[in-house]
Structure 1
């Protein structure tokens, strides 16, 4: 154990003092903050307002299609399918006579597409206009009354709660989705980054013949374990520093929020607890955003999420880094040889990432459940499920079984990699294949 500790200490201190480590550690939180701010700014500032000319053969859509900040409808007899662009319109909507007894196609002609969101919004507006017209025609409701009903119907404010038996905890689906997606992506990236770092370290020592000197004093397995634990400790240190820096940036950011905004947030929390959503809508946009962020933080089980992230990061790293070390020990100086041997290792990681994109949409589905239990995919997929609730979405038995299998998986890959490593680290000149490595692993 003392020799493993010496190798671990050397790997840890060497990389900790590296300039790249320092830059990536302190710049990453800033990049994350700028990324989030940029996403919010793009989402709120880059909406295009489309002017759409309408050619209506029915004669009633002018009364029901209402313009707003995203779409402006233009009804003019001078507009047609030939001159709409020269008149400043981005598209022309052609609505033929719509009989009640059969489906009829209406068309949108454009030079530039409106985008998926714009097309879906336009479809909903046309359907709502048809519904309003039929209500007006078939009932005694006037247009003024219909408009009043539309305005007055927006009185319900949605809240979701996780049923915990005798109690219920408020949840935020949007925040859960964001945390799940970011956690899965972060483990996916870190698994590749630190796993490849282990492989490159082993390859460099083998190429420079340093391994020959080292293994004269320590066993190959001790050398492999020292490199894996040392580089893993670097990754863990970096992640903990990121948490400290992000929390510090959050505390600093709170100081720039006016006291009046915090008072509005407190009033909104009180009004929400009393079921009064109208008071929430009357406050400033900044107060509403702070209120949503505060609710998301309070609704999340942050200690459990951080603990599980650390466990699955360490477990996933140890599971795959042992295999990366085995590949590094078998490779000589050809990078293409390393890429071909890495393929069976990287495919499960990439496949897990694609499963994660499904799991954040349906965290309780069979695919997400079983992929979060199998060790090859559990580090990424389970972290995409945990933010949605434990023990609600993720049962305790699923979490316990997933953790136990990941530990057993790490022990299995370490044993297999150790058998390959002890032979491959001293093998030169021969191009290794997975068939050869299999013989090394099970050679008596």
Structure 2
């Protein structure tokens, strides 16, 4: 055991002390944060706005399109004629102008307004202009029909006539289900990436020691199984440390954002809420959505998810890394030999990813239950189910059985890979197949 820990310590320190570890662990999150902060900075500090001159000969809007105060789209009412405004359009004083003829009637189905622009209008800007002008015209039309805006907002208000709840009577709102879906997908993809990344790292480390004949020297004082376990533990510790640093950096940098951009929250709250207006209805809807989001977050058992993530990350890593190490010990200098041997190992991982996409939507389906119990797919699939909670997404018995099967699977694959590693690490100049590796695994000492 001491020799295994010595090998693990060597693998851990060798990788952690490299500059590439610092760059990938600290530099990459900081780079992503810098790009993210730059996008926010230009979004907050941007002064670009689209000016529209309104020539209202019919006095339809009474000097105001709507009551929204935004800098992205500005309507200026002018008393000039179209020729004068066209010159201002050519001089880029305005980006477009809207002409309302004197005989325009909102009750006539054939009448329409034309907006002339001096440059191409983007799709989002076009949609915003059309929405604000159409909303103002609709309000004028309703007022002419003696229908108040409050009555229209009340008729259009969305109402949930069906409420979902579990067997215990606890309400499951859409926010909770959506957050569970997102958490399950993200957790499953993270483990999927980790299995590829660190499993390949173990395989390359074994291949390098074999090609450089370092393994021959180490094996003289350390048993092959101890050497393999030391490499798996050392590289796994590197992955765990790297993951913890990423989590700390991500959450820490998120807390710093409001300090760097204090205007962000101010701009989000800049629009006044007035009763009986479209802005008020949208603000109330946004407020309800934010409340539902916070309620959904409070319903998610994050300590359970984080604990299960660490367990399945370590279990899946140990299970697959032992197989990666076995492949690395069996191949020689040609990387194509390793790629041909990796296909049977990668198929369960890809299969688990496919099952995960179904498990996040239907966590209690028979395929999802099987995938969460089968050791080769459980690290990915179980995270999709556990995000929905206990017992809604997975029962406690199924979770414990899945963990026990994963531990048993890790012990079996480690024993199997150790026997392959013992023979393959000292064999050179021969192209190995899975059939021959299978013989090594069950060959008597």
1:347 aligns with 2:347: yes
Within 5 Å, give how 1:355-434 maps onto structure 2: 355-434=355-434
Structure-2 change in CA distance of 1:39 and 1:407 (3 Å): farther
Q: Which residue of the other structure, out of 191, 203, 209, is the alignment partner of 1:205?
A: 209
Alignment correspondent of 1:223: 227
Structure-2 change in CA distance of 1:334 and 1:297 (3 Å): same
Native 8 Å contact 1:194 1:235 kept in 2: yes
Q: Secondary structure at the match of 1:223?
A: helix
Native 8 Å contact 1:305 1:386 kept in 2: yes
Native 8 Å contact 2:176 2:297 kept in 1: no
Within 5 Å, give how 1:57-96 maps onto structure 2: none
Native 8 Å contact 1:160 1:172 kept in 2: no
Q: Distance in 1 between matches of 2:150 and 2:284?
A: 20
Greater Rg, structure 1 or structure 2? 2
Native 8 Å contact 1:280 1:288 kept in 2: no
Q: What is the deviation of 1:39?
A: 11
Native 8 Å contact 2:225 2:422 kept in 1: yes
Q: Distance in 1 between matches of 2:155 and 2:401?
A: 48
Native 8 Å contact 2:385 2:393 kept in 1: yes
Structure-2 change in CA distance of 1:301 and 1:161 (3 Å): farther
Q: Which residue of the other structure, out of 151, 163, 168, is the alignment partner of 1:165?
A: 168
Q: Deviations over 1:311-355 (max 9, x none)?
A: 000000011000000000000111110000001001111111111
Alignment correspondent of 1:67: none
Within 5 Å, give how 1:328-339 maps onto structure 2: 328-339=328-339
Structure-2 change in CA distance of 1:17 and 1:292 (3 Å): farther
Q: Secondary structure at the match of 2:168?
A: coil
1:440 aligns with 2:444: no
Native 8 Å contact 1:12 1:233 kept in 2: yes
Root-mean-square deviation over aligned CA pairs: 4.5
Structure-2 change in CA distance of 1:39 and 1:325 (3 Å): farther
Native 8 Å contact 1:28 1:242 kept in 2: no
State the number of aligned residues. Answer: 354
Q: Distance in 2 between matches of 1:353 and 1:417?
A: 24
Q: Secondary structure at the match of 2:387?
A: helix
Unpaired stretches in structure 1, ≥5 consecutive residues: 42-74, 79-87, 91-113, 119-142, 266-277
Q: Distance in 2 between matches of 1:288 and 1:256?
A: 28
Alignment correspondent of 2:283: 281
Native 8 Å contact 1:202 1:329 kept in 2: yes
Q: Distance in 1 between matches of 2:227 and 2:12?
A: 14
Structure-2 change in CA distance of 1:433 and 1:173 (3 Å): same
Alignment correspondent of 2:245: 241
Q: Distance in 1 between matches of 2:416 and 2:328?
A: 14
Q: Secondary structure at the match of 1:153?
A: helix
Q: Distance in 1 between matches of 2:239 and 2:374?
A: 23
Q: What is the deviation of 1:29?
A: 4.0
Alignment correspondent of 2:11: 11
Native 8 Å contact 2:153 2:281 kept in 1: no
Native 8 Å contact 1:202 1:325 kept in 2: yes
